[in-house]
Amino acid sequence: MKARLTSPPAFLRSLVVGALFASSGQAHAQSDPLPSWNGGGAKQAIVGFVRATTTAGSPRFVPPPERIATFDQDGTLWVEHPMYAQVMYCLDKVPALVRAKPELADVEPFKTVMSGDRAAIAKLSTEDLYKILGATLSGMTTDQFAAEVRRWMATARDPRWKRPYTELTYLPMQELLRYLRANGYKTYIVTGGGQDFVRTYSEATYGIPPEQVVGTAGGTTYGYDASGTPILTKEPKLLLNDNNAGKPEGIHLMIGRRPQLAFGNSTGDQQMLEYTGTGDGARLSMLLLHDDATREYAYGPAHGLPDTKVGAFSVALDSIAKARGWTVVSMKKDWKRVFAFE
């Protein structure tokens, strides 16, 4: 929403300044749409891409309806360490689940979660986590689920900064989203996270409406409550695993156009970036490298940083990025500020 309110004045200002100082380099600097980005290759790539695709008469001009930009969320738009916010939500929901179904108290992995043993919880396998996700993300109506997530988001705090997760979005990425929208791009989130989960806060947090969130999605079943009112109940049936190849498949399913720009940070984004990078005209595929242990975290074996379960920037991904000419953004070098609250 912010972009809509601030863009016209910014646009008018740059026109007026441009007219007054037609030959001055100051004009652009005064209306820098990406103030939290340091000058350099990444920022130049973004600004050059936007100019080439939005300037009438440019050989790489893209008509406004075709301006689609897709963004991974975890590790690209906000912090994903030490664990995805949605997994924290699901772990927090286990006690209520066990109260409702006491027979789960002695069943793994619920037993381990209920023990409160942090070391044991951190060691749960991916399969165990999927069991917890399946059990805590289904069985309620879509309206009940959205209300529960909103309640949780209002009080949950990140373990390091002690702030709501929605404050841990990266300021340079918020600027990029607004800059693209001000230039006619429709911005989408394409996340391995749960579509229903992210849709509850996407509009307030990123200015991205629910219908522009593509994510891992389970089925729902249409029915009626006791009073005959129609309801949709969330089922533990997976419709779209929006990771890896699932990202371009999900983009085709939910959007039906190939994006012009895509931004990710991990091996799960490889196929989205490949798919976006294919085709005629200007294409921009970008990867965020987490190399800033002081201001955020440093991880990614491709750059000699620690490997982690979450958000691996693998050696294989790095060689694909080089071969296909993707732009790697260094958090340490390319970002002047990381968070709005700094």
Q: Which is nearer to a copy of itself, 246 or 300 (CB)?
A: 246
Q: Which is nearer to a copy of itself, 140 or 245 (CB)?
A: 245
Mark the segment that binds a copy of itself (CB under 8 A) among 29-37, 232-240, 290-298, 306-314: 232-240
Q: How many residues bind a copy of itself, per CB under 8 A? A: 35
Q: How far is CA 239 from the centre of its chain?
A: 20
Residue 261 as a binder of a copy of itself (CB under 8 A): the answer is no
Interior CA angle at 173 toward 169 and 177, to 5°?
115
Q: Let me know: does 289 contact 303? Beta carbons within 8 Å.
A: yes
Give, as ranges, the residues between 10 and 39 that touch a copy of itself (CB under 8 A): none
Q: Let me know: does 53 contact 283? Beta carbons within 8 Å.
A: no
- 32 by Cβ neighbours in 10 Å (0-12 / 13-18 / 19+) ranks as middle
Least Å distance, CB 153 to a copy of itself, is 16
Mark the segment that binds a copy of itself (CB under 8 A) among 41-49, 110-118, 269-277, 301-309: 269-277
Amino acid at 48: G
Q: Let me know: does 341 contact 163? Beta carbons within 8 Å.
A: yes
Residue 256 as a binder of a copy of itself (CB under 8 A): the answer is yes
Q: Which is nearer to a copy of itself, 134 or 210 (CB)?
A: 210
Residue 205 as a binder of a copy of itself (CB under 8 A): the answer is no
Residue 322 as a binder of a copy of itself (CB under 8 A): the answer is no
Residue 222 as a binder of a copy of itself (CB under 8 A): the answer is yes
Interior CA angle at 66 toward 313 and 13, to 5°?
90
Q: Which is nearer to a copy of itself, 160 or 257 (CB)?
A: 257
Residue 178 as a binder of a copy of itself (CB under 8 A): the answer is no
In which residue are the tokens 């799960």 written?
268
Least Å distance, CB 289 to a copy of itself, is 23
Residue 181 as a binder of a copy of itself (CB under 8 A): the answer is no
Amino acid at 231: I
Residue 140 as a binder of a copy of itself (CB under 8 A): the answer is no
Pure H helices in the chain? 2-20, 26-30, 41-54, 85-100, 110-115, 118-122, 126-136, 142-155, 171-182, 195-199, 202-206, 246-254, 270-277, 315-324, 331-334
Give, as ranges, the residues between 44 and 63 that touch a copy of itself (CB under 8 A): none
Q: Which is nearer to a copy of itself, 219 or 301 (CB)?
A: 219
Q: Which residues of 162-184 are buried (b: 16+ CB within 10 A; e: fewer)?
A: eebbbebbbbbbbbbbbbbbbbe
Closest among 265, 253, 177, 185 to 215, alpha carbons compared: 253
Query: Residue 70: beta bridge partners?
Result: 188, 262
Least Å distance, CB 330 to a copy of itself, is 26
Under the rule (CB under 8 A), what is the footprint of a copy of itself?
A: 65, 68, 142, 186, 195-196, 199, 203, 209-211, 213, 217, 219-222, 229-230, 232, 239-240, 245, 248-249, 252-257, 271, 274-275, 278
